[in-house]
Structure 1
Amino acid sequence: MDLTLIVVVVIVTALLFDFTNGFHDTANAMATSIATGALRPKTAVIIAGALNLVGAFLSVEVARTISSGLVDDTRITPVVIFAGLVGAILWNLLTWLLGLPSSSSHALFGGLIGATLVAAGTGAVHFGAVVTKVLLPAVISPVLAGVVALLATYLAYRVTATADDGTVRKGFKAGQIVSASMVALAHGTNDAQKTMGIITLTLITAGVLAPDSGPPFWVIASAGLAIALGTYMGGWRIIRTLGKRVSDIETPQGFAAETASTAVILASSHLGFALSTTQVATGAIFGAGAGRRLSTVRWGVAGQMALTWLVTLPAAAVVGAAAAWAASTGTAGTVIVAVVAVAVAVGIYAASRRRPVTAENVNDVPAATPAPAEQPIPA
C-alpha cells in the first residue's frame, strides 16, 4: 500500500479513536454533576467538550511519552499503528455498549503493544517505560484519587454537619460546576494527548518527522477537536454507571470526587504519565461514596469494573496482534482488517439502539442493587 495513503488512513483512524475516547470518557468529568442535578445533561457535555479542547493545548508531555517512549519507532510501520488502533477502538465500543467505564488509554496501549509484538518482536517494546509510565500509574492513581476523595468527603460532611441542608446542597452544586469543569480541562491535558502521540509516532515512522519530535500544531488542534466532539456526543451509558450504579452520590461527594480527580490527572499530565483518567475518576467516586458511609457503595459494581480494568490492556493487545498479523500479509490483509473493524463497529452500534440511553433518560433507571438510605456522618 502506498505510504502516503496508509499514513492518511492511520491519522483518520487515530482521530476516530479519539472521538470514541471522548464519548467513552464524558462520564469522568460529568457523571456526578449530572447525577446530583448540579448540571443539566446537555449543558454538562457542552462544557466538557469545550474544556477538553482547551486542555489539549496546555501540555504535550503525555504525547511525547507515547510517540517516543513505549515502542521503538525505528522497528514499526504505520500499518502496525493502524492495527493497534483497531484493537483500541473495538474495545472502546464494546465496553461502551456494556456501560463499563474501562480505560481508553489502556485499550490504546494494549492495541499498540500487541501489534508491535507481532510485527517486530519483544525487543521493539520498551517494557521499562510501560511499567513506569503506564502500569504503575494504573495501580497508584485510582487508589490515590479514592483516598483523597474519601478524606475530602468526610471533612465536607463534618464541616457542614450543623448547617442548613438546603444551603449546603446549593453551595456544593455551585462548587460542582467548577470542579466538574476542571476535570474536563484536566482530561484534555491527558487523554487528548494520547492521540497526538499516536499521530506523531505515525509521522515519525513514515519519515515525515524526526525522531523524538513533538506533535505539530495541526496534530494538537485536530486531536483536541476530535475528543471534544466525542465528548459532546455524551457517553450516556457510562454516565449512568458512574452516576447511578456506584453509589447514591450527593453534592458534597460529587464535589470531593471531582476535585480529587482533577488534582491527580493534572499532576500526572505534568509528569508525562499516561494514566487512565477513567480509573482515576472511578476511584474518586468510590472514595467519595465510602467517605460518607461504606455501606452506600455497591461493591459488586466495583468488582465488575476492576475485572474490566484488568483485562482491558491484554484484550486490546490480542485484537491488535490479530489485526497486525492479518495486515502483515499485504494490502489485501489491511483492507480486510478495515472492513471487519467497520462491520463489528456497525454491529455494536445497532445493538446499542435496542435499549438506548439518552440525555433524557440517563437518570431515570434505578441502580441495579438498592443502596441503604443516605445518612450524613454525624458531627
Structure 2
Amino acid sequence: MFTLLVIIIILALVFDYINGFHDAANSIATIVATKVLTPFQAVLWAAFFNFLAYFISKYWIGEFKIGNTIAKTVSEDFITLEVILAGLIAAITWNLLTWKLGIPSSSSHTLIGGFMGAALAHAFTIPGADINTVINYAKVIPIVLFIFAAPLIGMVVAYFITILILNICRKANPSKADKWFKRLQLVSSALFSLGHGANDAQKVMGIIGAAVIFYEMKIGNAAYLSLESADRFSYFVDHYAWVPITSFLMIGLGTMSGGWKIVKTMGSKITKVTSLEGVAAETAGAVTLYTAEHLGIPVSTTHTITGSIIGVGITKRISAVRWGVTISLLWAWILTIPVSAIIAAIMYYVVSLFT
C-alpha cells in the first residue's frame, strides 16, 4: 500500500507540472501578444510568481482553503488509493490531450471530474452502497456553478476596468500611455500569476492530502483517527509541510515549460489585445481568482482569463470577439468534468485488476 501511495504522490506532482505548462498561457498570453516580454522571459516571470504564491497562502492568508475543498469533494467512505490513482491518470490523459489540441480546458475541473468518476465506479463495486452519498454536493455544487460564474465575473470586471481606464486616459498621449501600460502589464501579469499559483497548486495538495489521510487511517495512525473529518486536512498540511512547497514549486517549473499552442489561442484568436486591454484583463482575472480563493472555491484560471479577455473585447464592439472560438472553448469546459469522470471510471476498473 505504501508503494501505491508513493506512486500517487509522484503522479500528482507530474499532474501539477503538466498543469503549469498547460495553463502557462493564462498568465502570459497577453504580455506575449503585446510584445512586452519574449515568450521565454514571460514564462520565467509567471513561474516566479506562481511559486511566490506559496508564501502568500502560507504566511499571509494562513491556510490552504482550496486544497481542503478538493480533498473533500468525495466522501471519505469512498476514497481509496485506487480511486485517487485512477482519477489522476484520467486527469493527466485529458490534460495532455487538450494541450495537444491547443484547447485551453480546465486542469481544476479535470482533476475534480476524475476524482468523482473513480469514486463512483468504486461505489458500484460495494454491495448496498448508497451512490447518492459518494459526492459531497456542498463542495461540488459551488465548483460547478463557478464554471460559469468565474468567466462571467472576469468578463464584467474586465469590461468596467477597461471603460474606467479609457475614460481616465482619454486625453493622454497615445504613445506615452502605451509605454506606461506595457510597464503596468508586468504588474497585472504578476498579480494573475500569484492567483494562478495559489489556486492551482492547492488542487494537487488536496489530492495528495486525500491519499495520505486514507493511508494514515488505514494503517491505524491514532492521530488521524482521533480527529474529526473536518480537521484532518489541516493536520496533514502541518505534518507534511513538504507537500505544499513542492506543489507550488512543480507548478512553477511547469509554467517555465510553456504551452505555446494555447498561448496563441488566448493571445490572439479570441480577440486582439493591446497593452491597456492586457492590464484590464489580467487585473480582472486576478480579482476573480483572489475572490474564489477567499471563498475556498477551486476555479479554472483558464475560464477566468478567457472571460476577462472577452470582457475587454466587448468594450470595442461585440464583433471584436471571435465568438466561434469562444463557443468551442465553452463546449470544452462543459465536457471536461463528465469526460474526465468517464475516463476515470474506466481507469478505476483497469487499476483494480492490478492492485
TM-score of the alignment, normalized to the shorter chain, above 0.5: yes
Following the alignment from structure 1 to structure 2, what is the Cα–Cα distance between the partners of residues 262 and 271?
14
2:342 corresponds to which residue? 318
Report the alpha carbon displacement of residue 86 of structure 1 after superposing the two structures with TM: 0.8
1:259 corresponds to which residue? 283
Q: Deviations over 1:160-207 (max 9, x none)?
A: 223211111101101100000110011111100000110011001111
Following the alignment from structure 2 to structure 1, what is the Cα–Cα distance between the partners of residues 22 and 8?
21
Report the alpha carbon displacement of residue 128 of structure 1 after superposing the two structures with TM: 2.9
1:23 corresponds to which residue? 21
1:198 corresponds to which residue? 207
* Equivalent of residue 146 in structure 1, options 144, 148, 155: 155
Report the alpha carbon displacement of residue 127 of structure 1 after superposing the two structures with TM: 2.2
Report the alpha carbon displacement of residue 99 of structure 1 after superposing the two structures with TM: 1.0
Report the alpha carbon displacement of residue 47 of structure 1 after superposing the two structures with TM: 1.2
Matches within 5 A, 1:222-261: 222-261=246-285
Matches within 5 A, 1:176-195: 176-195=185-204
8 Å CA contact 1:138, 1:276 repeated in 2: yes
SS in 2 for 1:58: helix
2:101 corresponds to which residue? 98
- Identity over aligned residues, as a percent? 40
Higher relative contact order (CA 8 A, sep 6+): 2
2:49 corresponds to which residue? 51
* Equivalent of residue 165 in structure 2, options 156, 160, 174: 156
Q: Deviations over 1:329-359 (max 9, x none)?
A: 233xxxxxxxxxxxxxxxxxxxxxxxxxxxx
1:289 corresponds to which residue? 313
**In the alignment, residue 63 of structure 1 is paired with which amino acid?**
G
Instruction: Provide the aligned length of Structure 1 versus Structure 2.
Output: 327
Give the root-mean-square deviation of aligned CA atoms.
1.3
Report the alpha carbon displacement of residue 292 of structure 1 after superposing the two structures with TM: 2.4
Q: Report the TM-score when normalising by structure 2.
A: 0.89
2:128 corresponds to which residue? none
Q: Deviations over 1:59-105 (max 9, x none)?
A: 311011112x2111233211110100111111111111111111000
Following the alignment from structure 1 to structure 2, what is the Cα–Cα distance between the partners of residues 160 and 197?
44
Q: Which deviates more from structure 2 when the two are superposed, residues 234-243 or residues 154-163?
A: 154-163
SS in 1 for 2:105: coil
Structure richer in helix, relative to its length: 2
Q: Deviations over 1:34-74 (max 9, x none)?
A: 1011222111100111111111343311011112x211123
1:8 corresponds to which residue? 6
1:129 corresponds to which residue? 139
8 Å CA contact 1:153, 1:292 repeated in 2: no
Report the alpha carbon displacement of residue 291 of structure 1 after superposing the two structures with TM: 1.6
Is 1:72 aligned to 2:75, yes or no? Answer: yes
SS in 1 for 2:93: helix
Following the alignment from structure 1 to structure 2, what is the Cα–Cα distance between the partners of residues 162 and 111?
52
8 Å CA contact 2:87, 2:111 repeated in 1: yes
* Equivalent of residue 39 in structure 1, options 37, 40, 50: 37
Following the alignment from structure 1 to structure 2, what is the Cα–Cα distance between the partners of residues 273 and 249?
29
**In the alignment, residue 25 of structure 2 is paired with which amino acid?**
A
Following the alignment from structure 2 to structure 1, what is the Cα–Cα distance between the partners of residues 75 and 354?
22
8 Å CA contact 2:30, 2:273 repeated in 1: yes
- Structure 1 unmatched ranges of 5 or more: 332-379
2:61 corresponds to which residue? none
Q: Report the TM-score when normalising by structure 1.
A: 0.84
Following the alignment from structure 1 to structure 2, what is the Cα–Cα distance between the partners of residues 310 and 120?
24
